[in-house]
Amino acid sequence: MSDQGWLADTRTSYDTVAVSYADQLRDALTRAPYLRGSLAVFADLIHTAGGGPVVDVGCGPGHVTAYLHTLGIDAFGIDLSPGMVDVARRDHPGLRFEVGSMTDLRLADTSVAGLLACWSLIHVPDDAVPVALGHFRRALRPGGPLLLGFHVGDGSRLKTQGYGGHPMNVHVHRRQPDQVAAWLRDAGFTVEAQLLIDPDQDVPGALLFARRQP
C-alpha cells in the first residue's frame, strides 16, 4: 500500500472512532501502573536535563499528554487524526494539540527536550518506521530522551472494527523489542532501558527508553 493509502486509512479510521476511543481510554492510566511508572521516569529525565517542551506523537485523545502535565512537563500533542485532536482539545482545553504526521513531522530541528510515542508506531509499516525515527531524532535536542511503547509479537493483522463497533481499516503491526532497538540505533539513538509489560498476555507491550546521540 502507498504511503498515502495507509496514512489516509489510519486518519479516517481514528476520525471515526475518536469519541468512543476517548471514552474507553479515559481512565486507562489508572489501570496501567507500569506505564505510569515509566512516564514518571521519563518526566524525571526531562527535569534532570533542565526541562523544555516535550511532544507526544500520536497523542490520540491526549490522556498521556495531560498526565505528563501533572508531572510538571510542558507537553503538547500531535496526532494524524483531526477527530482525535478535536477530542483532545475538548477534554484538555488548557493544553496544546495539533494535527500532524510522524512521517512528516513539522517540528523545527532540535526544538523539543523530549519525545514519546506510546503505541502510535503500531500502524506504521516497517519501511516507514525509519522515516519516523529520523524525524524524531531531528526534532530532539542532542541527548534528549525518547520513549516508545508498542505491541510485542510478530506479523500484522488488519483491524476492521473497534472501539464501540465502529468500522476501521488499519493494519496493526507487532514487533520484537530487539528489532525496534536496532531501528533506533540505526537512526542515531542510544538505547538505555527496556520494559516488557504483561508478558503472559496474548499481546504483551514493550517500552523502550532511548536518547538522541549528539
- pLDDT for 73-86, tens place per residue? 999 999 999 999 99
Phi, psi of 100, deg, nearest 5:
-175, 170
**With a cut of 70, which residues of the chain have pLDDT below it?**
1-3
CATH architecture of 3-212: 3-Layer(aba) Sandwich (3.40)
- pTM attached to this predicted model: 0.95
Strand partners, 156: 173
Where do runs of H (alpha helix) occur along 31-187? Answer: 33-48, 63-70, 82-91, 129-139, 177-186
Give the C-alpha separation, 38 to 25, whole Å: 18
What's the length of the chain? 214
pLDDT tens figures, 34-59: 999 999 999 999 999 999 999 999 99
Q: Which residues pair with 209 in a beta bridge?
A: 147, 193
